[in-house]
Amino acid sequence: MTKHFLTLADMSPADLGRHLKRAIKLKADTLAGKRNKSLEGKILGLVFEKPSLRTRVTFEVGMRQLGGDSIYLSAQEVQLGVRESVADVARNLERWVDGIVLRTFRHEVAEELARNSSIPVINGLTDLVHPCQVFSDMLTVLEKRGRLKGVRVGYVGDGNNLANSWLLGAAMLGMELTVACPKGYEPDRSVLRDAKKRAKETGAKITIAHSPEKAARNADVLYTDVWTSMGKEKEGARRRVAFKGFQVNGALVAAAKKDVLVMHCLPAHRGEEITDEVLDGPNSIVFDQAENRLHAQKVLLEALLGGRKKKKATRGK
């Protein structure tokens, strides 16, 4: 694993498998009440230009469960590239904290922060990818199915940052992924090319379709996300028209395997991309997903922050 975690591609497939096993162990220890102080004395900086429930709470709780602490910095307090350059923010934070979780819009901002930071930077979400979410999603599928290789995932909806991360994760671990989205809303082309290249090495199957039924057919997992992501609210009305017919509802679930796992990264726009009967139904594991953000991210924190020291300040003469 590299010094930073900006995308799932920063891990090797072997790293990914090893970290998932570690997450299962950390979760079991936590539920058994075993204490883990592997990050005692470490401080995590949370720099969030986008609001969050799951990402903020799970990283803050995760640090505390590992013996460390965190500090939250909102967009108003930091203003990356406006009040202060991204590079200068990195050079300041590295003197005070041991790692940074960044939740922002443009992926290039995360890359610039990491490029100028001597401490680890974790991507809590950018417009391009959402690696922490999909890493924890794979943990959830592994728990429920006992394996990942060969598992069939049908992703229905927008080819957004979540779809992009699923492409990489599925390709790296030999899964079968079909992404079904309206024409013009396909995943990022460069990410798709990378995923297909990786799939040749692992035996994964990657398909882009424009039919929700094709994604649902024989699926072990049926996954969806909001049609309109943060920052694209002005496109809401147009997207609701474009995505009509891409709702995960009872009929679509019936087209998948009988024991299909229904997943959504949340928050959900009930009645749009998913119906209440499905989100609250017997096949839904959305809150297991949410729980596993905590345990999966603790592995990332251990791997990246463990043993690292902050850059020492230069003494003045």
Catalytically annotated residue among 4, 130, 152, 239: 130
Q: Which residue has the tokens 């927008």?
A: 158
Do residues 298 and 62 touch, judged by C-beta distance below 8 A? Answer: yes
In the residue annotation, 289 being an active-site residue is answered as no
Question: CA 205, CA 177: separation in Å to the nearest integer?
Answer: 6
DSSP 270: B
What is the dihedral sign for C-alpha 295, 124, 158, 175? Answer: negative
Catalytically annotated residue among 65, 133, 247, 297: 133
Catalytically annotated residue among 198, 265, 289, 295: 265
| 3-class DSSP assignment, residue 177 | strand
Q: Which residue has the tokens 């017997």?
A: 282
In the residue annotation, 133 being an active-site residue is answered as yes
DSSP 34: -
Catalytically annotated residue among 4, 19, 22, 103: 103
The first and second tokens of residue 233, run together, are 């609210």
Q: Exposed, middle or buried by CB within 10 Å (0-12, 13-18, 19+), for 34?
A: exposed
Catalytically annotated residue among 4, 198, 225, 289: 225
Cα dihedral 90→43→288→263 (10° resolution): 0
In the residue annotation, 193 being an active-site residue is answered as no
Catalytically annotated residue among 4, 22, 293, 295: 293
Question: CA 162, CA 172: separation in Å to the nearest integer?
Answer: 15
Question: CA 29, CA 3: separation in Å to the nearest integer?
Answer: 26
Question: CA 253, CA 112: separation in Å to the nearest integer?
Answer: 42
In the residue annotation, 265 being an active-site residue is answered as yes
In the residue annotation, 210 being an active-site residue is answered as no
How many Å separate Cα 55 from the centre of its chain?
A: 9
In the residue annotation, 130 being an active-site residue is answered as yes
Catalytic residues: 103, 130, 133, 225, 265, 293
